[in-house]
Amino acid sequence: MNSVLAPGLYIVATPIGNLGDLSPRASEILLSADIVAVEDSRVTAGLFRHLGAKGRMTPYHDHNADAVRPGLVARMATEAVALVSDAGTPLISDPGFKLVRDARAAGHAVTTIPGPCAAVAALTLAGLPTDRFLFIGFLPPKMQAKAEAIAEVATIRATLILYESGPRLAATLNALADGLGDREAAVAREITKKFEECVTGTLSQLAARYAEAPPKGEIVVVVAPPGEAPRPSEDDADAALAEALTRLPTAKAASEVAKKLGLDRKALYARALAMKP
């Protein structure tokens, strides 16, 4: 049993590019843990070389998680188990939430060692609203499924953040423009590395930019929230009321249109009464 760290699970954020971003606390945890669960031992071995040590690693990824997880949870009773992803904060588009859930269910302590996260880093670079944002991970690769996923978030009044690969970036930007409208957006790549860049523009402008030259590196797309919807006109309200009155009693028709158009129900009820012969 480790004499420095208490038994349990330690969720450790690691650099997304610049190894200088590894916090002193994260370094201490990684060097002191009895075992470090990693996505790819080749990647994390580079981090340990940076620390001047040889890590005690075990693979934990999407392909072996179900088989490995019970053993890791059992070890937490007497050992300190650290969890890292290849880069950034574990559980953000990476395996891990089931390990946290099972560790808690078994009564083990779960501690987070926060640090870099590509999604949040890109949000700070984009110059888009940050008061509300939604991380949607990777969109499906097939276009129909991608369009359906975009439609699900089209009306959400929040900045959207997603990850994408270079070869698929232009197609995804075009799909976003089709499904969301030509909103402001930003493409951030190689964050914290030598060739870090954050390119801004509309979705269609960015799609055209990257169609001929797909970028390399880790890519984050940030999309502005929808603009304010125009207030429905009196003609819009009358048309909606006229249609609703063909199906519903006056009060229910007014309620339906009020909910649909965001208008006052009492005013619509009075208008509906006036419309009746």
Q: What is the pLDDT of residues 27-47, one digit of tens each?
A: 999 999 999 999 999 999 999
Per DSSP, the residues of the chain read: --SSSPSEEEEE-B-SS-GGGS-HHHHHHHHH-SEEEES-HHHHHHHHHHHTS---EEE-STTTHHHHHHHHHHHTTTSEEEE--SSBSTTSSSS-HHHHHHHHHTT--EEEE----HHHHHHHHHTS--SSEEEEEEPPSSHHHHHHHHHHHTT--SEEEEEE-TTTHHHHHHHHHHHH-S-EEEEEESTTSTT-EEEEEEHHHHHHHHHSSPPPS-EEEEEPPPPPPPPPPHHHHHHHHHHHHTTS-HHHHHHHHHHHHT--HHHHHHHHHHH--
Give the pLDDT score at 61. Answer: 94
Per the structure block, which two tokens stand in for 70? 């019970």
Give the pLDDT score at 228. Answer: 62
Angle at 14 between CA 30 and CA 131, to 5 degrees: 135
Residues lower than pLDDT 70 in the chain? 1-3, 228-230
Angle at 67 between CA 66 and CA 71, to 5 degrees: 105
Contact 114, 13 (CB under 8 A): yes
Give the pLDDT score at 47. Answer: 96
Per the structure block, which two tokens stand in for 123? 């949000």
Give the pLDDT score at 95. Answer: 82
Per DSSP, the residues of 187-246 read: EEESTTSTT-EEEEEEHHHHHHHHHSSPPPS-EEEEEPPPPPPPPPPHHHHHHHHHHHHT
Give the pLDDT score at 148. Answer: 96
**What does the longest C-alpha to C-alpha distance in the chain come to?**
86
How far is it, in rounded angstroms, from Cα 191 to Cα 187? 11
Give the pLDDT score at 259. Answer: 81
Per the structure block, which two tokens stand in for 144? 């129909």
Helix axes 234-245, 250-261, angle to 10 degrees: 140
CB neighbours of residue 217 within 10 Å: 15
